[in-house]
Amino acid sequence: MIEQIDHIGIAVHSIEESSSLYRDVLGLTFQGSEVVEEQGVKVAFFQIGEAMIELLEPIDDEGPVARFLERNGEGVHHLALRCDDINAEREAVEQAGIRLLSDRPLDGAHGKRISFLHPRDTGRVLLELTQRQKEATKT
Ligand code: ZN
């Protein structure tokens, strides 16, 4: 089941420079940052109600966010939908003929399990399925 918008991912050249808008001007609470090697990014989260803004800064020139910035410049990169069972959601979208960008859930920030839907199958919106760690271990 899709429960809510988990976060909105925004590609930026520098988290340090972009943070002042979200933290100082908009007054959102900074929730920490970390490097997600598998995605080639450093991420920083800002709480906004139950959801978050995720700033994505590439850590090299090769990753998908680096390529996005090169093509489009800074801007909204993806929309993450929180679900209670990522494997069930993966199955459901595949049944509907929508391709996934990985053949298994990947490791996201904060120990989340994530999967991206192919944007060519979703009207060019990059959708991320995300399942939080505590739901993943719940029995
Ligand atoms: Zn994300």
Q: Where are the domains of the chain?
A: 2-132
Q: Cα of 116 to ligand 1 centre, how many Å?
A: 9
In this structure, which long-range contacts are made by residues 66-74, counting pairs with CB atoms below 8 Å and at least 24 apart in sequence? 66/40, 68/11, 69/11, 69/13, 72/11, 74/10, 74/11, 74/12, 74/13, 74/18
Q: What are 120's two structure tokens?
A: 């060519």
What is the rounded average pLDDT for all residues in the chain? 94
106, burial (CB in 10 Å: exposed 0-12, middle 13-18, buried 19+): middle
- Residue 84 Cα to ligand 1 middle (Å): 16
Banded pLDDT at 134 (limits 50, 70, 90): low
pLDDT for position 69: 97
84-117: pLDDT as tens digits = 999 999 999 999 999 999 999 998 888 899 999 9
Q: How far is the CA of 57 from the centre of ligand 1 (A)?
A: 12
User: Separation of 53 CA from ligand 1 center, angstroms?
Assistant: 9
Q: 56 alpha carbon to ligand 1 midpoint, in Å?
A: 8
CA of 8 to the centre of ligand 1 (A): 7
Long-range contacts of 65-74 (CB under 8 A, 24+ apart): 65/11, 65/39, 65/40, 65/41, 66/40, 68/11, 69/11, 69/13, 72/11, 74/10, 74/11, 74/12, 74/13, 74/18
> Where do we find the tokens 């966010």?
65
Q: Which CATH class is domain 2-132?
A: alpha beta
Question: How many C-beta neighbours within 10 Å does residue 93 have?
Answer: 18
pLDDT band at 138 (very low <50, low <70, confident <90, very high): very low
How many angstroms separate the alpha carbon of residue 46 from the centre of ligand 1?
12
CA of 64 to the centre of ligand 1 (A): 12
